[in-house]
Structure 1
């Protein structure tokens, strides 16, 4: 089929490349000329495992352009995969979604389906349908479909090619037939619902996982107080098939492009309908507090961080991605700098994005922030070490080197990723034990 995808971020680009892998001809559209030029040269603007390899393998079926009119005019299906960032009040910003929808409506010249993959509040597809009705040419029939994504950054390609389920929200039989044709090459359960249910499935899924993370973090905090080991507790819980072992890893909170934004958006939506989602509200509050857990632990060893050398291992919100959105490093490093610490940071992928972000924030003490290309350089002479991301290179680093290289070997592990115990010359603390 001839497809077009609006947006070349995590959702749009991964969707486009994976659909091309399944044999479809796909044109990727973006307003950012630099991103399109990168893509045309075979380079992905985002770091995602296997993505560039698939781009190269499907080069004949993938096209990249800023010319949305040529891309949408004759497409059988147009996917909308643009961002829906969080507003200050917690609601989703739908500006890019509506802009893309209007461009599509004004441009298409054949019957087609417009498929919304972006995460949007319940009822948004109906608004997209109204935009189509208001701006399309009269003789064209446009079916509006909700088709939420369930990919995780770091495993986005695998999650898209081998999904746990495919959810399709439609209001007519023809739209369902079109979507079954698109996904006939995928081996996964295909659930057909109405559009509002499909929109809700996305939010309900992400918010449930966020709840699970916040719950185990609260249990971890209590474990520290009563002398239990949260890793043993989580393992014991995970054997129960009703609970499962995934998302029971205690740490310093969730981040990324989905959980923080989607929990706040659903909480906002409920409040706008005079209803309070108490569990979701609690998850949001727990997560915000959890991000500062290592700072609080550090205060036990130093009353004042001024003048201390602090090593930071890991900047991204999780391994396998260069995404920094809602990463603990973005909260903690400014606090360390404002307290007068000298911060030495290491991340195998995330340094360029972090530097770009932090330099735009106006944080005090940026002259005291430096970056290093190895763990050895980062921890050498440090008074304390924070671990914010569980990259393999950090997990596999030999613990004896902390004692050997640090001025005072205090290691605070926010991801419970090291198999280390405190010993002579090394103080090791993690979350929940």
Structure 2
């Protein structure tokens, strides 16, 4: 079966590899460098399983910038293009999804299109009408950065939204779910077929709950710091409750990354005519946490602040929407110089700050070093490091 996948980020590339084990897969991207890397069997993103499968597995996978070649003859077209949140419009920028829908209608009008990009609640039903295309489904992703393929090989669940009273699309939804199950290693995967809009809501509510977990334990940590208490002993005691457990409980500078900031804000926007208090509090809490972290650093009266890694977590090369950048902005606004150590950056400056590539030089030049996640790289300068990472894990 020929399958086309639009986008080669975490979602698109992990799905391409998963499905290319048993199908002919064409991965489409607008960036020639990413296409070249995939065809050379090099991962354009940091992900251990993606790197391993590209290098060592027999995959029927081809990457291209040629949409016509990829989409023509495809039975399924998966859309996994980025949908960034627009702060002014309070809405995801879904233009990349609509661009692919236009191409799919042009080159493969009979194909089943599966949207995997994160979208607002109600979006799929609207574009089915707008594009006069009943062959559009929505299937949310539940992936971690740096573990995207692993989370497709061992998924917590598979969700495929199905339009009501449409047996043809119900059959195609089950067929698509079977393709995902076929590529996975895990057996007996919980598989759900809710309505299209319910499937969209599942994604936003799931990620907003994870944001809530992060915000909760960050506020616990803020309280402990202000009151002079031992944060870890409190968290350890709280999380021994089997109803709470210890996921998403490691304090940080705030939640960030590809999904949690934009998904929580989009869900809040979807509540515009629905009573709520908690969803707004989650979004506001994250901003308050970053303010608090910046204040704690500034209280040390540093001459220069170092930012150790812009990335959100260990084992990832993504620093889009990373919380440390917002802390950095607050420190810069107070006139304190900031240096950055980020090996993945090719530029000599980032947002007006000098990038230092020599780690020893970086440590010597900084009075305080911000590290969202602790690292052995900084073990020789513990007196300079400011981190809230208590468990040395993400």
**Aligned counterparts of 1:277 and 1:248: Cα–Cα separation in 2:** 24
Q: 1:388 aligns with which of 348, 372, 382?
A: 372
Map of 1:16 onto structure 2: 16
1:263 and 2:264 correspond: yes
Taking structure 1 as reference, are residues 143 and 246 closer, same or farther at Cα in structure 2, changes over 3 Å only? same
Report if the CA contact (8 A) 1:25-1:61 is conserved: yes
Equivalent residue number for residue 205 of structure 2: 204
Corresponding position of 1:327: 322
Correspondence for 1:412: 386
Q: 8 Å contact 1:170–1:195 — kept in the other structure?
A: yes
**1: CA distance between counterparts of 2:277 and 2:218?**
17
Looking at structure 2, the residues matched to 26 and 259 of structure 1 have their Cα atoms a distance apart, in angstroms, of 29
Is contact 1:55–1:62 with CA below 8 Å preserved after alignment? no
CA distance in 2, matches of 1:180, 1:255: 29
Q: Is the 8 A contact 2:18 2:180 kept in 1?
A: no
Q: Matches of 2:62 and 2:263 in 1, distance apart?
A: 31
Change (3 A) 1:381 1:29: closer
- TM-fit CA distance, 1:177: 3.1
Cα deviation code 1:53-109 (max 9, x no counterpart): 212334650011122122112112111111110112331111111111111011115
Tell me the TM-score normalized by structure 2. 0.89
State the partner residue of 2:111.
112
* CA RMSD, Structure 1 to Structure 2 (Å): 2.4
Q: Give the secondary-structure state (helix, strand or coil) at the position aligned to 2:381.
A: helix
Residues 70-81 of structure 1 correspond to what in structure 2 (within 5 A)?
70-81=69-80
Return the index of the structure with the highest Cα Rg: 1
SS at match of 2:135: strand
Report if the CA contact (8 A) 1:316-1:350 is conserved. no
CA apart distance, 1:11: 1.3
- The answer as to whether partners of 2:111 and 2:135 remain within 8 angstroms in 1 is yes
**Cα offset for 1:299?**
3.0
Once the two structures are superposed, residues 187-236 of structure 1 have per-residue CA deviations (whole angstroms, 9 ceiling, x without a partner) of 22111111111111101100001011111111211222334322222222
Q: 1:131 to 1:25 in 2, by over 3 A?
A: farther
Q: Within 5 Å, which residues of 2 pair with 1:37-52? A: 37-52=36-51
2: distance between equivalents of 1:277 and 1:250?
26
Alignment of 1:319-398 (within 5 A): 319-337=314-332, 339-347=334-342, 349-352=343-346, 355=347, 359=350, 361=351, 363=352, 366=353, 369-374=354-359, 376-380=360-364, 382-390=366-374, 392-394=375-377, 397-398=378-379
1:425 aligned residue = none
Task: Note if contact 2:253-2:324 (Cα within 8 Å) is conserved in structure 1.
Answer: no
Contact 1:315 1:389 in 2 (8 A): no
Which whole-Å CA distance do the structure 2 matches of 1:311 and 1:342 have between them? 9
Residue-by-residue CA offset, 1:338-372 (whole Å, 9 max, x unaligned): 5454434324x4433xx48x64x4x4xx4xx2413
CA distance, structure 2, for counterparts of residue 190 and residue 218 of structure 1: 35
Structure 1 distance, partners of 2:305, 2:257, is: 24
Unpaired stretches in structure 2, ≥5 consecutive residues: none
Return the alpha-carbon distance in structure 2 between the equivalents of residues 281 and 121 of structure 1.
17
Distance in 2, Cα, partners of 1:103 & 1:370? 40
Specify the alignment match of 1:86 in structure 2: 85
Summarize deviations over 1:390-409 as a string: whole Å, max 9, x none: 4x434xx53xx227xxxxx3
TM normalised by structure 1 equals 0.81
Write the distance in 2 (CA, Å) between the matches of 1:301 and 1:6.
48
Shift of 1:386: 1.9
> Is 1:129–1:144's contact at 8 Å kept on the other side of the alignment?
yes
Equivalence map 1:116-195=2 (5 Å): 116-133=115-132, 143-171=135-163, 172=167, 173-185=170-182, 186=184, 187=187, 188-195=189-196
Single out whichever of 74-83 and 228-237 deviates more from structure 2: 228-237
Deviations 1:162-199 (A, max 9, x none): 11111111123322332243133232211111111111
Distance 2:282 2:338 in 1: 30
For structure 1, list consecutive stretches of 5 or more residues without a partner in the other structure: 135-141, 404-408, 420-433
Residues 14-49 of structure 1, C-alpha deviation per residue, up to 9 Å, x if partnerless? 21112223x222100122233222322333322222
Structure 2 CA distance for partners of 1:326 and 1:177, relative to 1, 3 Å: closer
Deviation at 1:335, TM superposition (A): 4.3
- Cα drift, residue 132 of structure 1: 4.5
CA contact (8 A) 1:47 1:321 kept: yes
Count of residue pairs brought into register by the alignment: 383
Determine if the alignment matches structure 1 residue 278 to structure 2 residue 262: no
Contact preservation (8 Å) 1:170, 1:194:
yes
SS in 1 for 2:283: helix
